[in-house]
Structure 1
């Protein structure tokens, strides 16, 4: 059956079984939203759902039940992978949330989506040093929470071509709620979008025609963004859970 997990920012819809424990549901929430199990309190009508019990123990929980998720405390900096940075142009700036493992190329794609600036025109600088290797992580250049990255623009006549697409080999792992839990290797171009990945899985009959969520490094993947944008590298795992996510 489907239940809805409510937070301030999201409504997470997931498929569960009545025999699942509350702890197993919290683990699904952690995998989908990145919120540690220890920080979660799940409740229905102010009635807290306890880790050691099954959904069967709560008759109040049925198909379509809305379960409130309270985050008890902010995850430690050691656990947290998301950081806030400022991207500054000569006449404007944007505050962007990125992952510590984000690559320079992935950041350029985000800037392009937000600002519309062509990727091949961007030169990124942090602390006076040009971030000129698209495959390197932001952390390799010392970027951390609240860092400011300056964008200079190349003239179109001197623009350097965007890095060519490359093939990625990665593994897709399905959850037991979607299918029999299994994993299988795939190979796609890093410029392929998540939507193209989804279509490939469906056309090859590796997945049924259901609603499901793709997760990479505890982040929900966006349909219109590329694998490169998500920072997917060779050998990475992508996880699939049955359900949907919408903005709350």
Structure 2
């Protein structure tokens, strides 16, 4: 019936009929309310303890669904979250799905950026709230370092082919490293990935050219994703 004690502008009220307090769970028939029945409305400044207990025991919504609009997608991403989760934790979940660094993620609601330390509840986010997700540009310092004096240490992800027809082995080297550094890595990778190296010596071939262990990968014009082949034997260079 919706007639139990509840706040109004100047206090709390409850309803009585035949000296009995009417409860929300009861309908008109149960209460025996007939045409022209008189119902008393009693107003008080404080709610009854029983009603306070009811309000305190009412279940709170703890999990809600939020909709995230990524700047590179027209379809929002839906996540079920706990209202006590922080914005920082939300970013970590998005990072695990989208593989975007957490420090570059920006979550905004109604045009305002959300603070990492604030909880979903504190930000006033409700069920199916729409949140804008944008990606912050890389720091200028990082960009200048990549194009500056440290550019020589650029990482190259390469593939090594131990023998024709075998599985290629992924390796990572610096562009400025000498090819001999790859020879040092291979025995370590051999133990982990269990592939065979020629026991009687070997040399490296890149794009059908023999590689000099004392020259850098950059000198040999090795690019990202290139394959380096291993051949049995030794290369003898004249003086």
Is the structural similarity TM-score above 0.5?
no
- Normalising to structure 2: TM-score of the pair? 0.34
TM-score normalised to the size of structure 1? 0.33
